[in-house]
Chains A and B, each alone.
Chain A
Amino acid sequence: GEDVEQSLFLSVREGDSSVINCTYTDSSSTYLYWYKQEPGAGLQLLTYIFSNMDMKQDQRLTVLLNKKDKHLSLRIADTQTGDSAIYFCAADKGGGADGLTFGKGTHLIIQP
């Protein structure tokens, strides 16, 4: 089955760019997602990208997809303290199967 991997922690200085990386294994995944979880809250959809795109930009967020390497990244420009959260990468299961496979989440830590 699908496996989604991401590093557990990322520490950046306020005002710098954050880049959170993710790899997945199922090349038939059609959509890939980024979710954000703030303390004490549920997961909130940030953005998603269709597998035939290689980039999607939405304000401070840029998603890059390298389908050949099955690598997904989320870049947050001008990182703010409010960006401190856990970021989950997720992939659909492809082939019409139901549901998403989530990574374990990357804790983004903002240094002043």
Chain B
Amino acid sequence: DAGVIQSPRHEVTEMGQEVTLRCKPISGHDYLFWYRQTMMRGLELLIYFNNNVPIDDSGMPEDRFSAKMPNASFSTLKIQPSEPRDSAVYFCASSFRDSYTDTQYFGPGTRLTVL
């Protein structure tokens, strides 16, 4: 398996623009997580899905952030409009909830810079 795939790897945009981050989870995984990592706050869980359904979006900072999972192999995280304080590395992770562990597998991340 190719692992969790994220695109783009780097994104530079101007304040006010719409940004869309993409994620392809590992095939067969039923959970998908979106995280944001900054030096100040560390790793923050934004939202997660189970079987394509959003379960907990309490970590989404504000209404400018939205996430979708239209099918089991694709998810997007959208920021509209973007602001400089959204600059961070955004990670997608997926897992398969068996009877044992919650091991999450992370993608390489998207480094977002909002100017």
| Bound-state Cα–Cα, A99 to B106, Å | 13
Q: Can you spell out 20 A-B residue pairs with CB atoms less than 8 angstroms apart?
A: A31-B100, A31-B101, A33-B103, A35-B106, A41-B109, A42-B93, A44-B106, A45-B105, A48-B103, A92-B102, A98-B56, A98-B102, A99-B31, A99-B48, A99-B102, A100-B104, A102-B42, A102-B43, A104-B43, A105-B42
Closest Cβ–Cβ distance, residue B89 to chain A (whole Å): 9
Asked whether B108 lies within 8 Å of A98 as measured between CB atoms, the reply is no
| Bound-state Cα–Cα, A100 to B109, Å | 18
CB within 8 Å of A: which residues of B? 4, 31, 33, 42-43, 45, 48, 50, 55-56, 91, 93, 97, 100-109
Interface of A is mostly: strand
Contact of A42 among B31, B102, B109 (CB under 8 A): B109
Whether, in the assembled complex, A24 has its beta carbon less than 8 Å from a beta carbon of chain B, the answer is no
Q: Mark A92-112, 1 if CB is under 8 A from B, else 0.
A: 100000111011110000000
Asked whether A42 lies within 8 Å of B43 as measured between CB atoms, the reply is no
Residues of chain A lying within 8 A (CB to CB) of residue B97: 98
Closest Cβ–Cβ distance, residue B111 to chain A (whole Å): 8
Residues of chain A lying within 8 A (CB to CB) of residue B93: 42-43
Residues of chain B lying within 8 A (CB to CB) of residue A31: 100-102
Residues of chain A lying within 8 A (CB to CB) of residue B42: 102-105
